[in-house]
Amino acid sequence: MSKRKLVVFIPLLVFLLLVGFFGVGLYLDPRELPSELAKHQRPVPDFTLPSVTDPSRIVTQDDLKGEVSLLNVWATWCPTCKEEHDFLNILALEQGVRIFGINYKDDPVKAREWLRRYKDPYQLVILDESGKLGLDMGVYGAPETYVLDAEGRIRYRHVGAVDANVWHKLQQVMASVEQEQQSGEGL
């Protein structure tokens, strides 16, 4: 008899468990995808592509190594990229943050004109006209900003425009990556 008494509470308990999940779920974004490459700390995929600003120059993944930096995926057809561009300018030109760019599925002529008009915060801008590099990195929606470590491994990705809040988070990631590297070197 008492077993039955407990069994009848099961639906209620299962329901409350579900409510717990739903409550948490309300504040999650089901469409946000963390970077698979970042999850496994994979290096930037090998590539050989020209630079946007200097078409005779060929860029490879090795050019991105050396220190902790940002890699920003953008395009002239992407309005949000325009929104974040001013902030990137501040970061790069005033604060000296090392930012690389990937011009994703875009027209290099338009891209050059854009950078000329709105300033160029990038150390290098990689011309990924076909989108193949983006695909190999798991890009799904411009703008995206990646944190790279000194060995050119992807450590974190943010999808969407970079603003002060996002920069704060990126800074934290970059700092912890730096620290890890230094303690590794000290060993």
Please give the residue ranges that form the binding site for another protein (CB under 8 A). Answer: 4-5, 8-9, 11-12, 15-16, 18-19, 21-34, 36-37, 39, 78-80, 105, 131, 135-138, 140-141, 159-161, 165-166
If one counts every other C-beta atom within 10 angstroms of the C-beta of residue 151, the result is: 13
Q: How far is the CB of 158 from another protein (least distance, A)?
A: 9
Q: Which is nearer to another protein, 115 or 161 (CB)?
A: 161
CA–CA separation, 181 and 183 (whole Å): 6
Q: How far is the CB of 81 from another protein (least distance, A)?
A: 9
* Residue corresponding to tokens 């990705």: 157
User: CA geometry: angle at 63 spanning 150 and 87, to 5°?
Assistant: 75
Q: How far is the CB of 67 from another protein (least distance, A)?
A: 26
Helices 79-89 and 108-118: angle between axes, nearest 10 degrees: 40
Q: Which is nearer to another protein, 21 or 187 (CB)?
A: 21
Question: Which H or E run contains 166?
Answer: helix 164-186
Q: How far is the CB of 171 from another protein (least distance, A)?
A: 16
